[in-house]
Amino acid sequence: MDTREAWSTFADKLRASQRVLCLVGAGLSAPSGLDTWRGSNGLWNDINLRDLASPNKFFEDPVTVWTFYGERLVKTLAAQPNLAHHALAALATGHEGWLTINQNVDGLLEQTEHPMTRLLGIHGTLRTIRCTSCNYNTRIESPSDVPFLLLLSTQLRSVTLSDLPRCPVCTKLLRPGVVWFGEMLAAGAPDTIDDWISQDDVDLVIAVGTSLEVYPATEWVEAVRESGASLAIINTEKTDRLVDELNDDDWFFEGDAADILPRILDLVTYRHHAKSSPAALSSSVSGACSLKRTLLPSS
224 Cβ partners below 8 Å, 6+ apart? 21, 197, 202, 205
User: C-beta of 166: minimal distance to Zn ion in Å?
Assistant: 8
Which segment (53-61, 69-77, 169-177, 206-214) binds Zn ion by CB under 5 A?
Answer: 169-177
The response to whether 167 counts as a known ligand-binding position is yes
Residues 101-140 within binding reach of Zn ion (CB under 5 A): 131, 133-134, 136
Give least dist CB 175 to Zn ion, A: 10
Q: Is 78 in the site for Zn ion (CB under 5 A)?
A: no
Are 93 and 115 a contacting pair, CB within 8 Å?
A: yes
Could you say whether residue 1 binds Zn ion (CB under 5 A)? no
Residue 187 binding Zn ion, by CB under 5 A? no
166 binds Zn ion (CB under 5 A): no
Binding flag, residue 74, Zn ion (CB under 5 A) = no
Is the CB of 8 or the CB of 171 nearer to Zn ion? 171
Residue 171 Rama label (left phi>0; alpha psi -120 to 50; beta): left
Q: Kindly state the DSSP code that residue 272 receives in the 8-state scheme.
A: P
Least distance from Zn ion to the Cβ atom of residue 137, Å: 9
Q: For the purposes of burial, counting CB atoms within 10 Å of the CB of 130, is it exposed (0-12), middle (13-18) or buried (19 or more)?
A: middle
Using CB under 5 A, pick the residue from 91, 99, 119, 167 that binds Zn ion. 167
Q: Which residues contact 291 (CB under 8 A, 6 or more apart)?
A: 190, 191, 194
Residue 131 among known ligand-binding residues: yes
By CB under 5 A, how many residues form the interface with Zn ion? 7
| Site map (CB under 5 A) of Zn ion, residues 2-41, x = contact | ----------------------------------------
22 appears as a binding residue in the annotation: no
Minimum CB separation of residue 4 from Zn ion in Å reads 58
Active site residue 123: yes
Instruction: Please pick, among 114, 123, 272, 273, the residue that the annotation labels catalytic.
Output: 123
CA-CA distance, 62 to 45, in Å (whole number)? Answer: 18
CA 125 to chain centre: 9
Cβ proximity to Zn ion, 132 vs 276, nearer residue: 132
Nearest approach, Cβ of 138 to Zn ion (angstroms)? 11
Nearer to Zn ion, 131 or 224 (CB): 131
Please identify, using beta-carbon distances, which residue of 78 and 134 lies nearer to Zn ion.
134
The C-alpha angle with vertex 50 and arms to 47 and 56, in degrees rounded to 5, equals 95
117 in helix, strand or coil? Answer: helix
87-100 b/e (C-beta count within 10 Å ≥ 16 → b): bbbbbbbbbbbbbb
Q: Tell me how far apart the terminal alpha carbons of the chain are, to the nearest angstrom.
A: 32
Shortest separation between residue 172's beta carbon and Zn ion, angstroms: 5
- List, as one string, the DSSP characters of 137-185: EEE--SGGGSHHHHHHHHTSS---GGGS-B-TTT-PBEEEEEPPTTSBP
Nearest Cα residue to 241 out of 189, 196, 297, 190: 297
Report if residue 169 touches Zn ion, rule: CB under 5 A: yes
Which amino acids are annotated as binding site for Zn(2+), given as ranges? Answer: 131, 134, 167, 170
Which amino acids are annotated as binding site, given as ranges? Answer: 131, 134, 167, 170
Q: Which residues are catalytic?
A: 123
Residues engaged in binding Zn ion (CB under 5 A): 131, 133-134, 136, 167, 169-170
